[in-house]
Structure 1
Amino acid sequence: MSLNLPKPIADYVEANARLDIDGMLQPFLPDARFIDNGKHFEGQVAIRQLFEEEVIPVKAIFTPDTVRADGADIIVEGPAHGDFPGSPLRFTYRFTLVNGAIRTLETTI
């Protein structure tokens, strides 16, 4: 299924599929916020650490299958596969975009 994702979201998803940390960070603003199931990571340094410690080691790859707008936010849903308990798990990603970049990404199961 081909989804019409805004460029920063598509870039993030494509980099995640390659487990490319630098590519995953590129679409985020320097002071972006990532909220991972209630845990807050502020700025690219903290987000990089999240990717290095919790995404890459378990090879967590998100494969979106739905996208919709919710006000100013973009909601993307789909399974994440990897070497973690319960895989695959269905996630909801809520993106807030500002000036063509990711300002906030909130993930929930």
Structure 2
Amino acid sequence: MNLPNTIAALIKAQDNFDSHAYANCFSETAHVIDEGITYHGRAEIQRWIQKANDEFKTVIKPLQYVEAEEILKAEISGNFEGSPAVLTYHFELIDGVIQSLKITG
């Protein structure tokens, strides 16, 4: 699957549980919406993903990417009830970094 470099880097960072590298895929002013909660800015995104990594050890397997809509369907698995699950990642990329990400089930 041919993914934009930033999304490929995000997946690699997640699979390595590297919250610093994960957060660096985002702009300083980016936001993430996950489970109805919004995280603002790179530092808050890093804290959110580090906590999730510590608790769930989630890895991502890309299933489909729609470039025109910047949407990734992926199977996630880890230490959580209902694993594995398929989620949809709605990206907004600007100048090679993620400006926004909304994760839906």
For this structure pair, what is the TM-score category when the shorter chain's length is used for normalisation? over 0.9
TM-score (norm. length: structure 1): 0.90
Q: What residue ranges of structure 1 are gaps of 5+ in the alignment?
A: none
CA contact (8 A) 2:23 2:43 kept: no
Whichever structure has more helix as a proportion of its residues is 2
**Alpha-carbon deviation of 1:78?**
1.4
**Alpha-carbon deviation of 1:44?**
1.1
Aligned residues, how many?
105
Please list, as runs of the form range in 1=range in 2, the aligned pairs for 1:60-71 lying within 5 A after superposition: 60-70=58-68
2: CA distance, partners of 1:9 / 1:78? 12
CA contact (8 A) 1:68 1:75 kept: yes
Please list, as runs of the form range in 1=range in 2, the aligned pairs for 1:1-109 lying within 5 A after superposition: 3-70=1-68, 73-109=69-105
CA contact (8 A) 1:37 1:106 kept: no
TM-score (norm. length: structure 2): 0.93
Structure 1 stretches of 4+ with a deviation exceeding 4 A read: none
2: CA distance, partners of 1:69 / 1:38? 25
